[in-house]
Amino acid sequence: MRWKRSGRGGVFSAIRWLVILSAAAVCGLPPVQTSSQAGGRLAPPPSPQRIICASPAIGEMVFALGAQERVVGVSAFSEFPPAIQAKPVFGSALEPNRERLLRLKPDLILAQGKSAALAEFAQAHGMAFLSYPLDSVADIRAAIRGIADVLGAEAEAARLLRELEEALAAPAPETAVPVFIALGHSPGDFSALMTAGPGTFLDEWVTLAGGSNIFSDVAAPWPPISLEVLIRRNPVVILDLQHAPPSVAEQQALRADWERMGFGKERIRLLSEAALLRPGVRMAKALQALRAALHSSE
C-alpha cells in the first residue's frame, strides 16, 4: 500500500484510522502500557535517540515536547506540525512496513492504543515499546507526562499542561446544546456516516464545550448511524467534521445533503480543524473551535 499524508481519496481516510486506533484503545488497554524486562520487552533507554511515532497524535506530542530531532520515523497521516512531514513514513500502527522499521533502527517505538502488530514486532526485534490510550482528557494528561518523563522533557510538559488547564477552566454554558457529531460524510454520500459515542475524546470534548451528544447512550464508541434514527433524535446542531478542508463546491454539496434531510442551514456546522481529530496537545484549540461552533450562528 502506498501511504498518503493527506487527501480525500484512498481506501482509508484519516477519520477511519482515527476510529480504529481509538477503538483499539477502548478495548481493555490499561492507561499506559509500558515495556519491561519481565514482560519480555526492553525497557526504554535512559535517553532515547531514535524514536518512532506510531500515530499522528503521538508525533504531535513528541514534537511539542521539543524532541523532534530524535524522531526517525512517523506514521501515515502525520501532518502537524509541518516539520513532521519531512520525517520518513514507516506505514501505520495497523499495517507497519517491517522492513522499513528495521532500516530506521529505532531504540523506542511510541504508539497509541493497543497497537498489537507493533508491540509484537518490537518484542520480536528487541525494541523498546510504549503505548498510551488517548480517549479522554485524563489520558491526554497522562500521555504528556509519561512521554515527557521518558524523553526528559518535564519543563515542556509543564507548559503544555498549563495551556490545557487554561482551556478546561473556561466556564460551560448553563444549557447544553443537543449535538450530532457527524463523521464519515462525503459530498452526496451518507453511506459511511458514523458518530462518536460514549468513552471517546470527541464525546468528552463536546460536553466540555457546552454540547450534549445525542448518541451518548449507545453501546459502541464509534457506531454507524442511520439517517432515520438521526432524524428521530433531532439534534439542534450538526457538527460535520471533515478531515480535510472542503472546497467551496464541496461545502455547498455537504450542506445540501443535510438540508435534503430536513436540517436547516442554521443548524449545520462544517468543521475541518485538524485538531478536532487529533486527541492530544492541540486540545485547547479544538475546544475553542467547538465552543465557537456551538454557541454562534452561521
Question: Tens digits of per-residue pLDDT, 33-76?
Answer: 444 333 445 778 888 999 999 999 999 999 999 999 999 999 99
Q: How far is CA 116 from CA 93, 96, 287, in A?
A: 8, 11, 31
SS3 for 46-87, per residue?
A: CCCCCEEECCHHHHHHHHHCCCHHHEEEECCCCCCCHHHHHC
Domains of the chain plus CATH, in order, are 14-168 (3.40.50.1980), 177-294 (3.40.50.1980)
Question: Tens digits of per-residue pLDDT, 3-28?
Answer: 444 444 433 455 555 555 554 444 33
Distance CA 125, CA 173 (A): 52
Q: In which residue ranges of the chain is pLDDT below 70?
A: 1-41, 297-298
Tell me the whole-structure pTM to 2 decimals.
0.86
Distance CA 248, CA 250 (A): 5
